[in-house]
Chains A and B, each alone.
Chain A
């Protein structure tokens, strides 16, 4: 399964990914027409400045298990196993911001969204462009990034390990220690089972 991988050291801070993200999550789908839409489409990837003013593309890591999912009061957050994407159901979200308190990366925003019920403020974050992926396209942020700071590839074990290491040094919750031998394996098996059922 391909995933978006962030290489912050290659980011030049041009924010093209933010524009592409907002456009692809608009009603009309293109940047030119998206600008005049109401509510205004907003990006789900956020380029911030690091300690030395370097660019840093920040987006949802689709953690497993996901702290935001465990914290969500009405149970609006769920995982789509086929694409390994953590999603928020806009109909169920009550805009309580419990997920803001749980997300160790600070990637969730709260606003009205073209893809949500009209005039309802909800929690919004990266959805891995599942609609685009469904059409055979790659996520919009990756497509537009010309420096290779965002790539869409098979997450190999070494890469995963590196990401987990960084994540763990910041937050024990983002990547829980594997202190139950057999459990991760078991979950992987369960997930595979679910995927097979979903694909059938």
Chain B
């Protein structure tokens, strides 16, 4: 069997390993744009912060490709895919034929509509190269602008604050992380950042960047100017499937996949940030671009490609962030844009312990939560959402600081 995998992110790498485990003689070719050996993408923010150096980022040993007998073709992108002749063409003009194909090309940062995006000092934050360029300019950065209060914008702002750089964050909605959390949690997090030097401005966006070669000023939508020497654009990502023929392969935001991670064309699979499956909490098609789902999807895709049918049970949006001395964990539907009148809400806060907890139920099923501090039991709640297990104990038990898994077990085994 001749397998071709596009993308050496964690989804592609996990799939390749799984295939090798199950199909010893199979031929595996891995084509990817990035030449760095497989690494932990989320840790680029730790790199920006200066908390780790480059040597800490790889998640596989240097001999990963040899050890797994994978032929790497790095530094080139897939530019077209012919599903009839089963061939991928790369930017360098080569074609590669396959029996089974995995598209694991991840996501690209969403650009903004503003002039001057090509100035030095204007960055996206998606890969090691982006962050290395940022680090190279940091020495003379006095004031940085971060666009977007989502996960990436947030991590960029935190990393720069830790470098003692003044940061102003512009967010379109009322509070940071508005896609992930409710207003109360968002504001707690905003206060923590402000206490540590962040300036937040809501409801304004950048219309143009100005400077000779290097960024000096940003023009804002309210007509004012803002002097800055660095800008990180964190306005979200979009699945990187531009080269996929939409005539034959169903795409929505991401590439649509079935329970076996197979696309609408038999023999072609997709996994990771580029793929769209069912969201467990929302019960509708959704792209959940997070690391643990990329791992799980890569694994399931690998099984199925090697001929072992395994079903994926759907994805769940979730995140955990630690900033300064505050921890935030969130999963499923908590943001007002994800909830409706049919949801039941339960919340509790304890100012003395600095905790806040909110649970969202749909009938007896937990569909979302956010917790600030004391997050150790978050995994129990996450698995309740994932299992769609009806909760038949009083909800306050789940909000209680003494909550632990036995409170659920007691019920199930008694």
Contact = CB atoms under 8 A, between A and B. Distances in A.
A173 B280 CA distance: 13
Interface stretch (B78-86, B173-181, B302-310): B302-310
Given A104-B383, A170-B383, A170-B389, A94 B52 contact: yes
A82 interface: no
Given A51-B393, A179-B311, A190-B21, A73 B43 contact: yes
B376 A100 contact: yes
A106 B378 CA distance: 7
B40 A74 contact: yes
Nearest to A91: B56
A136 interface: no
Nearest to B14: A70
Interface bin, chain B: 35 or more
Contacts, number: 150
Contacts of A56: 404, 406, 409-410
B310 A101 contact: no
Contacts of B40: 73-75
A192 interface: no
Nearest to B402: A49
A45 interface: no
Contacts of A94: 43, 46, 51-52
Contact of A180 (B21, B309, B386): B309
Given A51-B411, A180-B303, A100 B379 contact: yes
B285 interface: no
A97 B292 contact: no
B380 interface: yes
Given A48-B402, A51-B410, A56-B404, A104 B309 contact: no
Contacts of A70: 292, 295-296, 299
Interface string A143-175: 000000000000000000000001001111110
B52 A102 contact: no
Nearest to A102: B379
B408 A170 contact: yes
A68 B318 CA distance: 14
Contacts of A39: none
A50 B386 CA distance: 22
B308 A106 contact: no
Contacts of A169: 387, 389, 412
A173 B382 CA distance: 10
Contacts of B409: 8, 50, 56, 166, 170
Contact of A58 (B291, B295, B406): B406
Q: Which of B43, B309, B409 gathers the greatest number of chain A CB atoms within 10 Å?
A: B409
B407 A170 contact: no
Contact of A74 (B56, B299, B320): B56
A125 to B, nearest CB: 11
Given A94-B52, A100-B320, A190-B21, A183 B308 contact: yes
Interface of A: 8, 46, 48-52, 54, 56, 58, 67-68, 70-71, 73-75, 92, 94-106, 108-110, 166, 169-174, 179-180, 182-183, 186, 190
Interface of B: 21-22, 40, 42-43, 46, 51-52, 56, 59-60, 291-292, 295-296, 299, 303, 308-311, 313, 318-320, 322, 327, 329, 331, 375-380, 382-384, 386-387, 389, 393, 397, 402, 404-413
5 contacts: A51-B407, A54-B410, A70-B295, A104-B383, A170-B383
